[in-house]
């Protein structure tokens, strides 16, 4: 069993091969030998925090029916800085903990009232302390040693605040299949989450995915209350660092369709309910969810019908099979919102995506709002579309085109954006194979400006359905592949804003040059020359 790792900000991020085990146990070396830090089921990645500075070791055991099925070799890695965490306990006490430093004689606590100027408070033998809660205070822990009676600081945590890791909201709604969908907005760091019913000391759900934001619950009464706890995996076991309020099943608020979310659906019975649930959990109340069934032959329509009967903001539409572009256009034509967003039927939204993009458009009077997105695979999350723009400010759309399709900014995703509906309705998608590549430059050319938010909200899930339509296209004969790509480039050049035509030609050339690097087809160079 192979595994990979990365150390970022003193946290170890690890991933491993799936060997069909019941669980995977992660061990790190401590002064007492190897210690189990985490036990992971239903995933192939996690993170470990509060590791001691210096050289560390880690390995993973895969267990099936309680027996070790496979085991990785130990890896060695270095932690260069000390980790630290600070959290409040019911606004009565503040706990500050830092990772251990082997050569430290003790640990000195520093406190600040403004987050800038820190003064030493007290020395401690241990790497953790609890103090009376002080509103507005922040802290640093600094391991030290002594030499000839003088204190020598070895390192320092970053500034730590009791409420930098917290739950902003928690909601629960009915889901298809007699389940309940629990969703939360959590800001800060976590290695995982635990879900508890009220009056129970035992979690009913656990994930070692620190970016997870939902859980499915079944066989509970509708008036049952639940809470969620965020934790860190450490060499000394789990540390709970934040706890939500209790929540129970609630009714969906919906008055009018301010934003329309368009979801094309095709043979998605195994995963579409998860996508719809994530949209319903949005903290933006006036969200219309327009689901267009593109001639599915499985139970996709039955699932959509259940949601449309139970939620007034879920709109069900059906059509003959015609492809994703045609399906999105049907959704666009029927959307009633002032703004339009898109989601694929196997992806997910974080609960604050729509509200964040909508607020950015309103605050800055822009035509489009854009955010980065997560790409989720077996190795975990990577961030895409992280653009080099000032956050939450009106920016001329030409600035976007200056970097579009340049190295590092190739992605032309349709779903990490919120658009003015009048723009989208006036310029629908072309019925082409490369529908995103062809439409994104086209629609953005009609916008005057945009705003950008640096927080990823959209989850482009490649774990649930690894093969994309792009992968299918890439297996086509070279002549067919070139023709589809040519149609995509010419679509936005010919259908984009005429005032932006020269810029769109440059965008098309950039994209074609990228295609030409991996192809011997002579058509790319000819098309590039024709666009000059």
Instruction: Count CB atoms within 10 A of the CB of residue 65.
Output: 7
Distances (CA, A) of 53 to 5, 147, 157, 195, 385: 17, 21, 12, 31, 33
Opening angle at CA 267, ends 263 and 270, nearest 5: 90
Opening angle at CA 376, ends 294 and 301, nearest 5: 20
Nearest to 330 by CA among 414, 263, 406: 263
The pair of three-digit structure tokens given for residue 376, joined into one six-digit string: 């989720």
In angstroms, rounded to a whole number, what is the distance separating the alpha carbons of residues 78 and 86? 23
Q: Which CATH superfamily is domain 3-79 in?
A: Immunoglobulins (2.60.40.10)
Secondary structure element (H or E) that encloses residue 400, with its range: helix 397-403
pLDDT of residue 252: 79
In angstroms, rounded to a whole number, what is the distance separating the alpha carbons of residues 23 and 6? 21
pLDDT of residue 410: 73
SS3 527: helix
pLDDT of residue 470: 61
Contact 262, 418 (CB under 8 A): no
DSSP state, residue 158: P
SS3 459: strand
Contact 288, 329 (CB under 8 A): no
Secondary structure element (H or E) that encloses residue 195, with its range: strand 192-197
pLDDT of residue 278: 97
Distances (CA, A) of 90 to 93, 169, 174: 7, 17, 30
Nearest to 35 by CA among 17, 16, 50, 54: 50
Question: How would you classify the pairing of strands 67-71 and 54-64?
Answer: antiparallel
The residue whose two tokens read 């509708």 is 222
In angstroms, rounded to a whole number, what is the distance separating the alpha carbons of residues 175 and 218? 10
In angstroms, rounded to a whole number, what is the distance separating the alpha carbons of residues 341 and 31? 52
Going from the first residue of the chain to its last (532 residues), give the mean pLDDT of each consecutive group of 10, the final group possibly shorter.
92 95 94 89 95 92 95 92 90 91 92 93 93 93 92 94 94 96 97 97 96 96 96 95 95 91 97 97 96 98 98 97 96 98 97 98 98 93 93 97 87 92 97 91 97 96 71 80 94 96 95 91 93 88
Instruction: Count CB atoms within 10 A of the CB of residue 264.
Output: 24
Contact 180, 10 (CB under 8 A): no
In angstroms, rounded to a whole number, what is the distance separating the alpha carbons of residues 529 and 532? 5
CA-atom Rg of the chain in angstroms: 26
Decide if 3-79 and 84-153 have a common fold: yes
Pick the CATH number of 166-243 from 3.30.70.20, 3.40.50.700, 3.40.50.300, 2.60.40.10: 2.60.40.10
Nearest to 247 by CA among 173, 163, 351, 165: 173
Following CA atoms 126, 127, 131, 137 in sequence, which dihedral angle do they give, to the nearest 10 degrees? 150
SS3 417: strand
DSSP state, residue 253: P
Nearest to 456 by CA among 390, 386, 355, 354: 386
Burial class of 470 by CB neighbour count within 10 A (0 to 12, 13 to 18, 19+): exposed
Burial class of 419 by CB neighbour count within 10 A (0 to 12, 13 to 18, 19+): buried
Contact 157, 98 (CB under 8 A): yes
> Which strands sit side by side in the sheet containing 373-377, from one edge to the other?
348-349, 458-461, 373-377, 380-384
In angstroms, rounded to a whole number, what is the distance separating the alpha carbons of residues 260 and 342? 8
Fold of 259-461: Spore Coat Polysaccharide Biosynthesis Protein SpsA; Chain A (3.90.550)
DSSP state, residue 160: B
Contact 324, 298 (CB under 8 A): no
Contact 78, 62 (CB under 8 A): no
The pair of three-digit structure tokens given for residue 442, joined into one six-digit string: 């086209």
Contact 438, 473 (CB under 8 A): no
Contact 14, 47 (CB under 8 A): yes
Domain boundaries, the chain: 3-79, 84-153, 166-243, 259-461, 469-530
Which numeric CATH code is attached to 84-153?
2.60.40
């Amino acid at each position: 069993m192979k595994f990979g790792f990365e150390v970022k900000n003193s946290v170890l991020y690890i991933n491993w091969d799936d060997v069909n085990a019941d669980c995977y146990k992660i061990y790190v070396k401590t002064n007492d030998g190897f210690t189990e830090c985490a036990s992971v089921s239903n995933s192939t990645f996690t993170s470990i925090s509060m590791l001691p500075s210096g050289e560390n070791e880690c390995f993973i055991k895969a267990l099936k029916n309680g027996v070790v099925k496979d085991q990785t070799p130990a890896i060695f890695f270095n932690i260069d800085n000390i980790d630290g965490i600070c959290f409040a306990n019911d606004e009565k006490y503040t706990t500050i903990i830092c990772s251990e430093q082997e050569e430290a004689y003790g640990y000195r606590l520093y406190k600040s009232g403004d987050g800038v100027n820190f003064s030493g408070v007290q020395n401690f033998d241990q790497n953790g302390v609890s103090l009376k809660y002080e509103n507005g205070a922040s802290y640093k822990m600094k391991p030290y040693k002594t030499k000839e009676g003088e204190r020598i600081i070895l390192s320092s945590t970053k500034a730590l605040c009791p409420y930098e890791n917290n739950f902003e909201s928690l909601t629960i709604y009915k889901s298809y299949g007699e389940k309940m969908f629990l969703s939360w907005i959590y800001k800060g760091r976590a290695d995982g989450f635990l879900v508890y019913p009220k009056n129970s000391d035992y979690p009913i759900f656990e994930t070692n995915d620190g970016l997870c934001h939902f859980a499915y619950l079944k066989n509970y009464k509708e008036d049952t209350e639940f809470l969620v706890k965020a934790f860190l995996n450490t060499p000394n076991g789990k540390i709970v660092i934040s706890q939500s309020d209790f929540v129970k099943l609630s009714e969906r608020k919906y008055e009018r369709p301010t934003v329309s979310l368009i979801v094309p659906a095709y043979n998605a019975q195994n995963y579409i309910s998860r996508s719809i649930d994530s949209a319903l959990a949005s903290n933006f109340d006036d969200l219309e969810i327009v689901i267009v069934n593109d001639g599915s032959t499985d139970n996709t329509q039955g699932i959509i019908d259940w949601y449309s009967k139970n939620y007034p903001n879920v709109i069900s539409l059906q059509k003959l099979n015609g492809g994703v572009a045609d399906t999105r256009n049907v959704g666009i034509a029927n959307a009633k919102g002032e703004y339009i967003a898109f989601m694929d039927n196997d992806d997910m939204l974080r609960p604050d995506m729509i509200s964040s993009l909508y607020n950015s458009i309103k605050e800055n009077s822009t035509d489009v709002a854009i955010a980065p997105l997560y790409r989720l695979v077996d190795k975990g999350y990577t961030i895409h579309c992280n653009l080099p723009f000032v956050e939450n400010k009106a920016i001329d759309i030409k600035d976007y085109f200056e970097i579009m399709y340049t190295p590092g900014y190739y992605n032309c995703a349709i779903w990490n954006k919120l658009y003015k509906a009048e723009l989208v309705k006036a310029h629908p998608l072309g019925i082409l194979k490369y529908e995103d590549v062809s439409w994104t430059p086209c629609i953005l050319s009609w916008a005057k400006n945009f705003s950008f938010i640096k927080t990823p909200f959209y989850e482009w899930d490649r774990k649930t359905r690894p093969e994309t339509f792009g992968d299918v296209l890439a297996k086509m004969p070279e002549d067919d592949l070139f023709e589809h790509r040519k149609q995509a480039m010419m679509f936005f050049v010919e259908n984009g804003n005429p005032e932006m035509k020269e810029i769109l030609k440059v965008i098309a050339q950039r994209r074609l040059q990228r295609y030409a690097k991996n192809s011997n087809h002579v058509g790319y160079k000819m098309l590039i020359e024709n666009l000059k």
